[in-house]
Chain A
Amino acid sequence: MNRPAVCPEIEMDLIATATGDADPATSGRVQRHVGRCAPCQAEFHRYRAVEDVVERWRGVPVAGEALAAARKRLEQRLDDLRRRTVAYRIFPSPLGNILIAVSERGVALVEYLGQRRHVRDSRLSRLPEVEAVEDGAEVEARYRELMEYLEGRRTRLEWPLDLRLARSDFHRQVLEATAGIPYGAVASYAGLACEVGKPTAARAVAQALRRNPLPIVIPCHRVVGSSGALTGYAGHKTDLKQQLLTTEGVRTVKRDRELRVPHDTMYVTSPGSTEYCLPSCTWLSTIEHPHRLRFFGTRSRAEASGLAPCTDCRPDLHPIPS
């Protein structure tokens, strides 16, 4: 094998042509050369033989039954991974950076990151049961809807939700009850406690909402103290709560050095009622659980949630001066 069997200047092209890897021009040139050079012709045929054998190899079935078994094992692992996976992205917003994460069941986490901008700053990185992956377009669509909401151009986020990050069944119940408070209304912690059947658990309700994995979407900002005090929000971010309520047409005032929702100048209704009233309506003095009342900043928001003006106090004829 000391002497080259083929003209060196054409060797690469010859191999390419014989093994089906050459463009037509190269192929033509090689064919012409091979036609007049016997050693190269012989070499050309050897490479054709090699190509035939490789072709055979390509056609040899591998795996077979083993493949089906491997596929099954892979699918099981993928199922497990899929269940644990949440896809996230971090976006800028008027409320600071926000992380949105989506599982196969629905939106699982909305998290205020403030100035922080990395997933390692998120709750996600501290949850061993969760596999966080970066997302492309799906989360972005949610983000656009959320921005519309924050700008007051959208009043509903009709998202499928995944409450897997709720810490207990009680927390889940509180979150589900909170999700039922309409846009532009406020309820109280004590009222929600009654609603989930634990009338003395107002503090536990507040704790559950403090841990709300889906702020804005599950509107814990619509829950205030029985006195109307805003109390906490996502730790100490009462200003965010005020901002969200203002977007929804709920005014806040400062009384006794505390931000409050002024119940005495808001429209009011009781869960189960089909009407809304003025705060002076005589019917209000007869109800059993005053902390279950819900308040609206504007008539239009009360009516948008399906309520009619009370036929006794007629808030439609005597609207509260704004």
Chain B
Amino acid sequence: MGAMGQQPFETVLEAHHGEIHRYLVRLTTRASEADDLSQETFLRAYRAYRALTPDANVRAWLFTIATNLARNHFRDEKRRRTAYTAAVAARSESDANAPDGEAMFQEARARVEAVVGGLPLKQRLAFILRKIHDLDYDVIARSLDCSADSARAHVFQALKKIRHNLAGHQLVEMEMRR
């Protein structure tokens, strides 16, 4: 079934489930949360898929559905931030045995994850959609109900916070000497 000229939904699942799931894993603290949100994303998408116009950007559309569900899910912002910071701290500890350069990178990455986890929701979503999933600003804007300029500003705010958090970090100073 499916509209004329439309890919079967299996194809959509095949092409995008991995990425959408990873996006939601990055946003959430527990695997079960990501699992629930990605299931709900694709069940909703399935229900609306037939009415989608043939020229629609399916990937952007799925990210919009997932982002909306995530925004609803994270209404209780404060609880999320606390949980996220704790989870990131736990994750970074397990990497203690890595070689030196690698350990430094991993430590920096854990700090970036922690900063991103502590960002206001729209900044965090905009940052992950842009920097991790490489979506266009107009798609991000649609997912966040804002203008493309605001979406861009959210990403820049996030980058500034990360940069200030990493100030004095070995990695950043090393880069300067290159």
- Show the binding face of A for B, using Cβ within 8 Å: 1, 12, 15-16, 19, 21, 42, 45-50, 52-54, 56-58, 60, 62-63, 66-67, 70-71, 73-75, 77-78, 81-82, 85, 87, 102-104, 131, 133-138, 141
Contact = CB atoms under 8 A, between A and B. Distances in A.
A7 B110 CA distance: 29
Given A53-B166, A135-B3, A78 B112 contact: no
A138 B1 contact: yes
A213 B117 CA distance: 54
B167 to A, nearest CB: 8
Contact of A46 (B5, B34, B42, B172): B172
Given A78-B42, A131-B47, A50 B1 contact: no
A138 B4 contact: yes
B interface residue count range (under 10 / 10 to 19 / 20 to 34 / 35 or more): 35 or more
B99 interface: no
Given A49-B172, A58-B132, A62-B22, A136 B163 contact: no
Contacts of A12: 156
A272 to B, nearest CB: 38
A153 to B, nearest CB: 21
B172 A15 contact: no
B142 interface: no
Contacts of B48: 133
Contacts of A67: 17-18, 21-22
Interface string B124-146: 00000011100000000000000
A62 B176 contact: no
B163 A87 contact: no
Interface of B: 1-6, 9, 13, 17-18, 21-22, 25-26, 31, 34-35, 38-39, 42-43, 46-48, 50-53, 105, 108-109, 112-113, 130-132, 155-156, 159-160, 162-164, 166-167, 171-172, 174-176, 178
B112 A47 contact: no
Contact of B178 (A45, A56, A66, A78): A45
Q: Taking each of B17, B105, B175, which has the highest tally of chain A beta carbons within 10 Å of its own beta carbon? A: B175
Q: Taking each of B42, B164, B172, which has the highest tally of chain A beta carbons within 10 Å of its own beta carbon? A: B172
Given A47-B159, A63-B25, A53 B176 contact: no
A62 B25 CA distance: 7
Contacts of B13: 71, 74-75, 78
Nearest to A102: B1
